[in-house]
A and B are shown apart, each in its own frame.
Chain A
Amino acid sequence: MAIYKRNILIIDDDPDMRNYLNQILSSSGAFVREAESAHYGFESIKENIPDIILLDMNMPGESGLRFSARLRELELYAKIPIIILSQNKNKEIIKESKDLGIQGYLAKPVKPIHLKNKIREVLKDLKIPPSVYIFNKSKDNLDTQIMYHVHGILTQFGPKGLKVATPIKIETEAKLKIQAKIIRDLNLDQEEIIVKSSTQLGRAKEFSSICEFEGLTELQSQNIFNCLKEWP
């Protein structure tokens, strides 16, 4: 699950720790807010409900666990995912946090990769819809044209074209290229292939497309023909 554009609230009394976590997550495109205590954390939540809370276990005043327990009792905030960060890897605390329905537990010092993984894991379980960066061709000046490759099985070959089975349904009249040994052997790898029809076979992810080579010369067709002759 994406971290990009997630609202993440960090509640920790240590400013260096907050800064460290903030930098890791901001660089991944998250919107990060910080709070230095449970009290300010709660104020921040009331203002804007975060997608996830990173919560320090040991803070002066209200501890992380007590704060979680309080949130869990409030209907509006009970479902916000929480990841507890703690110095002590105490089995009892882990059990207690699980009982409170806390989704994650991380021991300090936290490695960036572990932090992001844990966040992604927690968000994935909750199936929160992802936020997507929408490319704007004129503004972004990005090359958004790409090519995609899918594995297929060539089933039949003829002097005019071929049949190919793929897990995707290819649009009729679409132009495509096929990489295969037989096509390379026949020097046809530069030729464009046009899909004449694509039909679903028995199973769900199996489609068969009848395709024709475009503008094949007599000589090329002849070569295919000679090759076919040698097959059993």
Chain B
Amino acid sequence: MKKKVRPLLMSVDDDPAYNKILSSICEKMQVEVNISDTAKEFVKKLSTTTPDICLIDINLSRGEKVGLQIVKFIKEKMNKKIPILVVSASNDMETLNSVAEIGADGFMAKPIDAPRLLSKLAKYLPYEKISNLETFFKTIPSSYSQCIVDRDATILGMNDEGIFLECSDEIPIGVEIELEGNIFQDILGDMSPSIKVTSAINLIEDPILKSKSYLVFDQKNILLQDSIAKWLHQIDLNEK
């Protein structure tokens, strides 16, 4: 099997608590991580390794903004096109301006959490690097979220009140679903081939774990109930 390509993230921060959190988030997301506590260590590592992304704390060495100097050094002196994100707890205009001035690719506010880091990875890393990340999911904007799920089922039996289905899903009592199939065209003629039903009972049947659900038709849809009764009666007559 092909070895999964994991993105490598390098970080420098002197806050042990932050380093611990970052390390655990990366582990969960299956991102390889290389953490340094000091600027010196970080730059040394960077000369031998090429990460996919760097996170650099702005306030290294007690607020002297050494982080910005590292960014400048990488961008000007090292011939590496690595996306660099500046990390800081303060996101005031001054900080953001200095980040932009120095040529960093982006900014990430503290505290760090998985969705925030994911969104940054999605933005700055090429697709191949993140496609294997197990937890790479993004929240869908609500305007996009409505959907209809289609599933297969087999009709076991029917009367003019409801229908018995064999399906592998569990349909709790009171859930409305819509059925669609050629058989309904048979029954309803030119009318819409789909019908609404509401789950009335749900029985799980062992050993194959296929549930038999009894679902009732819309009680106000008298035309449907009548059509089904007549259709079933016709089947009965044909049998005789």
Contacts and interface: CB of A to CB of B under 8 A. Distances in A.
A147 B149 contact: no
A113 interface: yes
B190 to A, nearest CB: 18
Interface string B184-195: 101000000010
Interface in B144-159: 144-159
Contacts, number: 225
B111 interface: no
Contact of B148 (A3, A26, A144, A180): A180
B181 A4 contact: no
Given A159-B127, A167-B172, A147 B144 contact: no
Interface string A130-152: 11111100001011111111111
Given A147-B152, A174-B151, A205-B175, A157 B169 contact: no
A199 interface: no
Contacts of B186: 142-143
B182 A147 contact: no
B140 A156 contact: yes
Q: Kindly name the residue among A156, A163, A164 whose own CB sees the greatest number of chain B CB atoms within 10 A.
A: A156
A231 to B, nearest CB: 6
A178 interface: yes
A29 interface: yes
Contacts of B140: 154-157, 162, 182, 231
A133 B219 CA distance: 19
Given A154-B147, A160-B131, A169-B169, A27 B158 contact: no
A168 B170 contact: yes
A29 to B, nearest CB: 4
A116 interface: yes
Given A28-B226, A149-B150, A143 B169 contact: no
B5 interface: no
Interface stretch (A9-17, A41-49, A71-79, A222-230): A222-230
Contacts of B159: 2, 4-5, 29, 130-133
Interface in B209-235: 209, 219, 222, 225-226, 228-230, 232-233, 235
Nearest to B155: A144
A156 B138 contact: yes
B122 interface: yes
Interface string A1-39: 111110000000000000000000011110000000000
Interface in A163-198: 163-164, 166-171, 174, 176-183
Contacts of B180: 146-149
A227 B223 CA distance: 46
A146 B219 CA distance: 21
A147 B151 CA distance: 6
A231 B143 CA distance: 12
A171 B147 contact: no
A133 B158 contact: yes
Interface of A: 1-5, 26-29, 113, 116-117, 120, 130-135, 140, 142-160, 162-164, 166-171, 174, 176-183, 204-205, 221-222, 225, 228-229, 231-232
19 contacts: A28-B160, A29-B159, A116-B226, A130-B162, A133-B157, A133-B235, A146-B154, A147-B152, A148-B167, A151-B149, A153-B145, A153-B147, A155-B139, A157-B138, A158-B137, A158-B138, A169-B172, A170-B151, A178-B149
